[in-house]
Amino acid sequence: MGYGYKKLLEISDDWLKYAIRLNLGHESKDCLVEIRNAALEDNRIKRCLSDIANFHGTLVTNHKNPDLPIQKLLFLLELGFDTEVPEIKAAIDAILQNRDEHGVYQSMTNVPKHFGGKGENVFGWCLCDAPLLLLALLKSGVDYREYIKQGVDHLVSLYRDNGFPCAVSPELGKFRGPGKKDDCCPYATLIMADLLSYIPEYKDSQVASSSVKTLLNLWENSLNQHPYMFYMGTDFRKLKAPSCWYDIVSVAGVLSKYEFARDDLRFLEMINHIKSKQDENGLFTPESIYLKLKDWDFGQKKVPSPYLTYLCYQIFERLYSDV
């Protein structure tokens, strides 16, 4: 690791220092007990843990919401925390309690009648949330064959030639997003590609490869292809954290997990766009934010964000030996 890594460590809070040393420095968890304990004492981390403990206490009615328990759970897991933390264990146990006949895990939601739903609180799933639940189980070490594979296989069966569609479970009625029925849903395609990147039997599959190519094609044709109103225009190209929706850092992060995509000129265009925003110290400043996250370093647009920089460095590490 070079100067950028050292600079990033210097300016980061304990919760991020833990993630940097674990995921970029590749230090053993056994050597990071002290910094891990300090990270868990951060009030923001404590709030995240408190919010996920009652996992189904928040209705999933807007998937572009960083306050959703699944997004906070994935944030914590990706930092390097695990089910040794009681609140994370409680969240994983809560997910496991709601599984349909196809092995797909469900979220508590409410689709109004005028959108094709029942207008009442029900457990069900959308293809823009179900893959995230499976990903959380996978990252927390839940047994793949017993608890995850069936659900993954079912979601994969929904794939079409142009990516993954807007799809929901029967409990959510006729709900569908604002787009042509035959279009792919870019966000569902993105998070399915992310999920499959962690599963050996699927990472090199035709479905995974085609999903990646769909995202690359959307970038190439960003001026005229906007399925389900997902654009890759000016807002998409602004640097933003965390990676919980459809933006350039999120998409590049998923694509970078596929070796064959790393030489694709379209992917390299994304990387060059991101790198063009790097300052003289190798850091990145948010250009767009979630207002709900103003207490975090990535919740402002005035100074460099260590966490946003960390996300970009993770992408670069998959491409280069140094950042």
Q: For residue 44, what are the contacts with CB-CB under 8 A and spacing of at least 6? A: 15, 295, 296
255 is a domain residue: no
Question: Torsion angle, CA of 8/77/261/224, rounded to 10 degrees?
Answer: -100
Mean pLDDT by runs of 10 across the 323 residues of the chain is: 79 98 96 98 98 92 90 98 98 97 94 71 92 98 98 98 92 77 94 98 97 98 91 96 97 97 97 97 96 96 98 94 48
Among the listed residues 83, 88, 129, 89, the one whose alpha carbon sits nearest the alpha carbon of residue 106: 129
Look at residue 110 in the predicted model and tell me its pLDDT: 79
Distance of CA 302 to the CA centre of its chain: 25
When divided into structural domains, the chain yields a total of 1
Look at residue 175 in the predicted model and tell me its pLDDT: 72
Residue 51 token pair? 């919010």
Report H helices in the chain: 3-11, 14-19, 33-40, 43-53, 69-79, 86-96, 130-139, 149-156, 186-197, 200-203, 206-220, 248-255, 265-275, 306-319
125 is a domain residue: yes
310 is a domain residue: no
Distances, alpha carbon 298 to alpha carbons 5, 204, 227, in Å:
18, 34, 28
Distances, alpha carbon 192 to alpha carbons 37, 189, 207, in Å:
33, 5, 10
129 is a domain residue: yes
> Does an H or E element contain 124, and which?
strand 122-124
The span from the CA of 224 to the CA of 99, in Å, is: 39
193 is a domain residue: yes
**What amino acid is encoded at 113 in this protein?**
K
Look at residue 150 in the predicted model and tell me its pLDDT: 98
279 is a domain residue: no
Q: Which domain holds residue 56?
A: 42-204
249 is a domain residue: no
Look at residue 273 in the predicted model and tell me its pLDDT: 98
166 is a domain residue: yes
Look at residue 94 in the predicted model and tell me its pLDDT: 97
pTM: 0.95
